[in-house]
A and B are shown apart, each in its own frame.
Chain A
Amino acid sequence: GAVVSQHPSRVICKSGTSVKIECRSLDFQATTMFWYRQFPKQSLMLMATSNEGSKATYEQGVEKDKFLINHASLTLSTLTVTSAHPEDSSFYICSAPQGKGTDTQYFGPGTRLTVL
């Protein structure tokens, strides 16, 4: 079946640096991808919708300049956490719809970000 991958699976960085997380759809094209954040033992919170060829749509309360999203191709979306701080430490998960017009999603395995 279709797979969504994320890279890296884990990253540790120093406060003030930027970190890029990649989300790829491996055997299908995705004009839309989604980015979620999951705090420990909590639910997933939708951060933004990544749109191929146009600007991302951010949910209320999510800083656009903090979390930069680029949907460079039909199989790749990237999330860059700029000037990371310890409070940005979290589990970031991406997803892509299983097909055009469907709201069923394939989820990536997630990226654990730890900011020291």
Chain B
Amino acid sequence: AQSVTQLDSHVSVSEGTPVLLRCNYSSSYSPSLFWYVQHPNKGLQLLLKYTSAATLVKGINGFEAEFKKSETSFHLTKPSAHMSDAAEYFCVVSDPRNTGGFKTIFGAGTRLFVKA
């Protein structure tokens, strides 16, 4: 069965320091993997997506994630946190269905706090 595990419910960093949000997945197929960000009272925004083209995926706002098949991980990183990065982050897996289409499964989310 497909699943997504975000290893930290919340992460706190100081502004200007690196960010690491951890995600592990399990899937019977070769899934698409995503990171979405949710700011308060706003819709989810796509940060980046992994298909199979490259294991290191660069996204918006300086974020990137590395797909490691051997570790079934897709951790999100950013070299230097900004106050505006404070939000909820979701790791997402999308698996194809037998009947066509796909099913999206969300991780539990990681709340990122950025201290001045």
Binding site for B on A (CB under 8 A): 4, 32, 34, 36, 42-46, 49, 93, 95, 103-105, 107-110
B43 interface neighbour in A4, A43, A46, A104, Cβ under 8 Å? A4
Give the bracket for the number of chain B residues in contact with chain A.
Answer: 20 to 34
Residues of A within 8 A of B44 (CB): 44, 93, 95, 107
Q: Is the CB of A46 within 8 A of B103?
A: yes
Q: Is the CB of B90 within 8 A of A44?
A: yes
The verdict on A93 contacting B43 (CB below 8 Å), with A43-B90, A43-B109, A103-B32 known, is: yes
**Residue among B46, B90, B94, B102 facing the most chain A CB atoms (10 A cut-off):** B102
Whole-angstrom distance between the alpha carbons of A108 and B46 in the complex? 12
Any A CB within 8 A of the CB of B20: no
Whole-angstrom distance between the alpha carbons of A95 and B94 in the complex? 14
Residues of A within 8 A of B58 (CB): none
Residues of B within 8 A of A109 (CB): 41-43
The verdict on A104 contacting B90 (CB below 8 Å), with A34-B104, A45-B106 known, is: no
Residues of A within 8 A of B109 (CB): 42-43
Any A CB within 8 A of the CB of B107: yes
Shortest A15–chain B CB gap in Å is 26
Closest to A32 in B: B101
Q: Is the CB of A103 within 8 A of B104?
A: yes
If A43-B107, A43-B108 are given as contacts, then 17 extra A-B residue pairs at C-beta distance below 8 Å, sorted by A number, are: A36-B106, A43-B90, A43-B109, A46-B103, A46-B105, A93-B44, A95-B104, A103-B32, A103-B102, A104-B32, A104-B34, A104-B49, A105-B46, A105-B104, A107-B36, A109-B42, A110-B43
